[in-house]
Amino acid sequence: MKAFEKREDPIVLMKRRIIIVALLLAALILARAVYGVVLKKDEAAQLREEAERELGGLQAREVEIRTGIAEIASERGVEKALRSEYELAKEGEGVIVIVEGEQKTDKPSPQPAPKSSWWPF
């Protein structure tokens, strides 16, 4: 009979309810923390993909630059670079400048529209 009385003791019941509420609060706090970690994991994965794309672009640019350096390393490449940058010419070479002439149009110039008044005279 003592065991039955102990079960219905209000102090024991209150202790059990407090423990259950505390455990529920702890579970909610842990669930929120896990959710935050999952969000950070997704964000980190997205940033990693972006960084990998940027790395691919930089590697392509590196190949392009190395090709340009190899091209300029030769004597012909140096000459080509100097000619394009500073508009140099060899002895005996001349420069021809082509200037486009003015183009005449046969279209008449637009005439201003006649002014119309709301008050006829």
Name the 3-class secondary structure at 1: coil
Q: Are 72 and 78 in contact (CB under 8 A)?
A: yes
87 is written with which tokens?
């508009």
Q: Are 21 and 27 in contact (CB under 8 A)?
A: no
Q: Are 91 and 85 in contact (CB under 8 A)?
A: no
What would the pLDDT profile of 52-92 be if each residue is shown by its tens digit? Answer: 999 999 999 999 999 988 888 888 888 888 888 887 777 77
pTM over 0.95: no
What would the pLDDT profile of 6-62 be if each residue is shown by its tens digit? Answer: 667 888 889 999 999 999 999 999 999 999 999 999 999 999 999 999 999 999 999
